[in-house]
Structure 1
Amino acid sequence: MGQHALILGIGNVLWADEGFGVRCVETMAQSWAFDHTVKILDGGTQGLYLLPFLEEADVLLVFDAIDYGLPPGTMKVIEGDEVPAFMGAKKMSLHQTGFQDVIATAQLMGYCPEILILIGCQPVELEDYGGGLRDIVAARIDPAIAIALKKLAEHGIHARPGKGDDRYLADASILRGAYEQGRPSEDAACRTGDDRFFPAAE
């Protein structure tokens, strides 16, 4: 019997590039199918609620926006024991510390996946509530998926072209297409603040 894998996207789609990991799993499920031993999951910011999913997995592959201190859009692949350290080394938001705790808890309980892979992308912008992925980060989705497919294949987990299992993704209303089309413009929403309260430029 093949290894069980969990392909997990974490982050908050409401904060611009924070949504990178979630958009990766969403895109992956649209184009790649696996057998029943592989689960593609939008983990959002669920933290410890993800533990039951880790318990089932031999291989955990995570997509996330990670602040590596590198140029925006830079991708980095971390594996094995380094993954928990990177998940909390320079946190950008609560979900990163939360997921580091998830891994630590799974290890303590004796059911952390044996193989850990993190595919991270350096964000451009996070302080934009209601914003979407910046172009340079959105352009990394397909390369990130290509890396994931290669890494999974190295562990005997192969995908085939076609629509995958999307049962564990977000509600259709916040998938990327609906989110981008239904979101008001930056001018209309003034997502970075209210001009009435910004100090006048000197």
Structure 2
Amino acid sequence: MHNRKDKQRILVLGIGNILWGDEGFGVRVVEEFHRRYAVDENVTVLDGGTQGLYLVGFLEHTDCLIVFDAIDYGLPPGQLELLQDDEVPRFTGAKKISLHQTGFQEVLSAADLLGHRPRELALIGCQPLDLENWGGPLTQPVRAQIAPAIEMACKLLAQWDSPAKPRSEPLPASKRLLGNNIDHANYEIRDAADLEPCD
């Protein structure tokens, strides 16, 4: 039986801005993953939000990394792509999806320079439809990819000998990664209802 010292250190990371339309995809996926699945002690689940280069410190202690993010691949909205290892652009020449936060390419580039690049890297990205809707929820094509993105991550964790285990019941709001006021149920669904025209 492996103990924690013997097992690979794995980070499951969601990044993005939930207040900016589809850019919240990565955070919403990691939030739902944490709500539905328990993981081994060697696995850390993190809402990276828009912390940018502050995330480099987390990569220092990571052997295997899964990142959920909204990525502008130039594909149809809602299309999900899995990039692994050298397929993931790590350098700042890659196109950014937004101008108001540090791109994850910069985080990986900094980790490379410091010698902290994870041995294995998987980027699960979804093509956004709308990055301009300040204060708005995920669009339907992007929201529909939350469950498939989680399924991809579960397959990777199983390959890395640290399978995620379905919880008997989803976590209550008080134990989720995000607070009650900005979790999916309290923020996005309420927000969408608020936007419906009055009679």
* Bigger helix fraction: 1
Cα distance in 2 for partners of 1:102, 1:6 equals 14
Q: Is the 2:92–2:109 Cα contact (8 Å) retained in structure 1?
A: no
Structure 1 residue corresponding to 2:64, chosen from 25, 45, 59: 59
CA 1:83 to 1:167, structure 2 compared with 1: closer, same or farther past 3 Å?
farther
Q: For residue 150 of structure 2, what is the aligned residue in structure 1?
A: 145
What's the TM-score, normalizing by structure 2? 0.85
Q: For residue 32 of structure 2, what is the aligned residue in structure 1?
A: 27
Q: RMSD in angstroms over aligned alpha carbons?
A: 2.3
Instruction: Report how many aligned residue pairs link the two structures.
Output: 187
CA 1:96 to 1:115, structure 2 compared with 1: closer, same or farther past 3 Å?
farther
Q: Structure 1 unaligned runs (5+)?
A: 189-202
Deviation at 1:169, TM superposition (A): 2.5
Cα distance in 1 for partners of 2:144, 2:21 equals 14
Q: For residue 126 of structure 1, what is the aligned residue in structure 2?
A: 131
CA 1:17 to 1:155, structure 2 compared with 1: closer, same or farther past 3 Å?
same
CA offsets 1:80-109 (integer angstroms, 9 cap, x no match): 122134886221214675321111111111
Cα distance in 2 for partners of 1:168, 1:6 equals 17
Q: For residue 11 of structure 2, what is the aligned residue in structure 1?
A: 6
Give the alignment of 1:57-96 within 5 angstroms: 57-85=62-90, 89-94=94-99
Amino acid at match of 1:51: V
Q: Structure 2 unaligned runs (5+)?
A: 1-5
CA 1:99 to 1:56, structure 2 compared with 1: closer, same or farther past 3 Å?
same
What's the TM-score, normalizing by structure 1? 0.84
Structure 2 residue corresponding to 1:169, chosen from 171, 174, 177: 177
Which structure would you say has the larger Rg?
Answer: 1
Identity of aligned residues (%): 53
Amino acid at match of 2:70: A
- SS of 1:174's partner is coil
